[in-house]
Chain A
Amino acid sequence: MTAVQAPVSAARSAPEQTRARYPDAKGYVERDGVRLFWERYGDGDTTVLLLPTWSIVHSRHWKAQIPYLARHFRVLTFDGRGNGRSDRPAGAGAYDDEQYVADAVAVLDATSTREAVLIGLSRGGRWAVELAAARPERVLGAMLIDPAISFMAPLPQRQAFSFDEELDTTEGWAKFNRHYWRREYRDFLEFFASEAFSESHSTKQIEDFVGWGLETGPETLTLTQLGAQPASRSEMEATLGRVRCPVLVVHGEDDQVRLHAVGAAAAELTGGQLVTIEGGGHCPQARHPVQINLLIREFVESLGGMAR
Chain B
Amino acid sequence: MTALLTTGREQTRARYPDEEGFAERDGVRLFWERYGDGEPTVLLPPTWEIVHARFWKAQIPYLARHTRVVTFDPRGNGRSDRPDGFEAYARREFAADALAVLDATGVDRAVVVSWCDMGESLLLAAEHPERVAGLVFIGPPMSDREPDQGHYPFDSDPGTDEGWAKETRGYWLRDWPGYLEFFFAMCFTEPHSTKQVEDCVGWAKDTDMETILAGFRGWETKIIPPAEVAALGRRVRCPVLVIHGTEDAQSEAWRGEELARLLGGRLVLLEGAGHAPHARDPVKVNGLVADFAGVAGNGTAPATRTWTRALRRPKRALYLSSPIGLGHARRDLAIARELRARVPGLEIDWLAQDPVTRVLEAEGERIHPASAWLANESTHIERESAEHDLHAFQAIRRMDEILVANFMVFHDVVREQPYDLWVGDEAWELDYFLHENPEEKRAAYVWLTDFVGWLPMPDGGEREAFLTADYNAEMIEHIARFPRLRDRAVFVGNPGDIVPDRFGPGLPAIRDWVEDHYDFAGYVTGFDPAGLGDREELRRDLGYRPDERVCVVTVGGSGVGGHLLRKVIAAYPEARRRVPGLRMVVVAGPRIDPASLPSADGLEVHPYVHGLYRHLAACDLAVVQGGLTTCMELTAARRPFLYFPLAHHFEQNFHVAHRLGRYNAGRRMEFATATPEVVADAIATEIGREVDYRPVETDGASRAAALIAELL
Residue positions of A touching B, CB distance < 8 A:
199-200, 248, 253, 267, 273-280, 288, 291, 298-299, 301-302, 305-308
- Given A306-B239, A306-B292, A308-B266, also A278-B298 (CB < 8 A): no
**A276-B303 CB under 8 A given contacts A306-B294, A307-B294:** no
A194 CA / B301 CA spacing, docked (Å): 33
Q: Which of B67-75, B305-313, B481-489, B680-688 contacts A (4 or more CB under 8 A)?
A: B305-313
Docked-complex contact A276 and B294, CB < 8 angstroms: no
User: Are A298 and B297 in contact, with the CB atoms below 8 A?
Assistant: yes
Residue on A nearest B111 in the bound complex, by CB: A306
Give me 4 other A-B pairs in contact (C-beta within 8 A), A273-B302, A299-B298 excluded: A274-B304, A276-B305, A298-B298, A306-B239
- State how many residues of chain B have any CB contact under 8 Å with chain A: 23
Asked if B308 contacts A279 (CB within 8 A), the reply is: yes
Interface contact B304-A279, CB-CB below 8 Å: no
Q: Are B297 and A277 in contact (CB under 8 A)?
A: no
List, in ascending order, chain A residues with CB within 8 A of B302's CB: 273
A306 near B299 with CB under 8 A, answer: no
**Across the interface, do B307 and A277 meet the contact criterion of CB distance under 8 Å?**
yes
Assess the A273–B303 pair: CB atoms within 8 A: yes
- A45, chain B: closest CB distance, angstroms: 12
Complex contacts, A273 vs chain B, CB 8 Å = 298, 301-305
| Inter-chain contact A302/B297, CB cutoff 8 Å | yes
Nearest CB in chain A to that of B302: its residue: A273
Which residue of chain B lies nearest to A248 when distances are taken between CB atoms in the complex? Answer: B298
Instruction: Tell me if B294 and A305 are in contact (CB < 8 A).
Output: yes
For residue B133, CB closer than 8 A to chain A, the reply is yes
How many angstroms from the CA of A280 to the CA of B293 in the assembled complex?
32
B306: contacting residue among A278, A307, A308, CB under 8 A: A278
* Identity of the chain A residue whose Cβ is nearest the Cβ of B305 in the assembled complex: A275
Cβ contacts under 8 Å, B291 to chain A: 307
List chain B residues, Cβ under 8 A from A301.
297-298
Residues of A within 8 A of B298 (CB): 248, 273, 298-299, 301-302
Residues of A within 8 A of B303 (CB): 267, 273-274
Given contacts A298-B298, A299-B298, A301-B298, contact A308 B307 (CB under 8 A): no
- A-B contacts at CB below 8 angstroms, number: 65
Give the interface of B toward A (CB within 8 A).
111, 133-134, 239, 266, 291-294, 297-299, 301-309, 311-312
Q: A199-B309, A278-B312 are in contact. Are A306 and B304 (CB under 8 A)?
A: no
| C-alpha gap A306/B298 in the complex (Å) | 11
Q: Which one of A274, A279, A306 has the highest number of Cβ atoms from chain B below 10 Å of its Cβ?
A: A306
- Which residues of chain A have C-beta atoms less than 8 A from B308's C-beta? 277-279
Establish whether residues A302 and B299, one from each chain, have CB atoms under 8 Å apart when the complex forms. yes
Beyond A308-B239, A308-B266, whether A277 also contacts B309 by CB under 8 A is yes
Residues of chain B within 8 A (CB-CB) of A302 are 294, 297-299
Quote the shortest CB–CB distance from A132 to chain B (angstroms): 18
Q: For the complex formed, measure the closest distance between the CB of B571 and the CB atoms of chain A, giving whole angstroms.
A: 61
In the complex, chain B residues whose CB is within 8 Å of the CB of A298: 297-298
On chain A, the residues within 8 Å of B133 by CB distance are 306
Q: How far is the CB of A256 from chain B (nearest CB, A)?
A: 15
How close is B370's CB to chain A, nearest CB, in angstroms? 19
**Cα distance A243–B298 in the bound complex, in angstroms:** 19
Contact B309 A275 (CB under 8 A): no
Assess the A280–B309 pair: CB atoms within 8 A: yes
For A281, the closest partner residue in chain B by CB is: B309
Q: Which 10 A-B pairs give the minimum distances between C-beta atoms?
A: A279-B312, A302-B298, A279-B309, A278-B308, A276-B306, A274-B304, A306-B239, A275-B305, A306-B134, A298-B298
Query: Which residues in A have their C-beta under 8 angstroms from that of B294?
Result: 302, 305-307
Specify the chain A residue showing the minimal Cβ separation from B291: A307
| Closest residue on chain B to residue A287 by CB atoms | B309
What are 23 sample pairs from A and B whose C-beta atoms fall under 8 A apart? Answer: A253-B306, A273-B298, A273-B302, A275-B305, A276-B304, A277-B306, A277-B309, A278-B307, A278-B308, A278-B309, A278-B312, A279-B308, A280-B309, A288-B307, A288-B309, A298-B297, A302-B297, A302-B298, A306-B111, A306-B292, A306-B293, A307-B266, A308-B266
Q: Which chain A residues border B134 with CB–CB below 8 Å?
A: 306
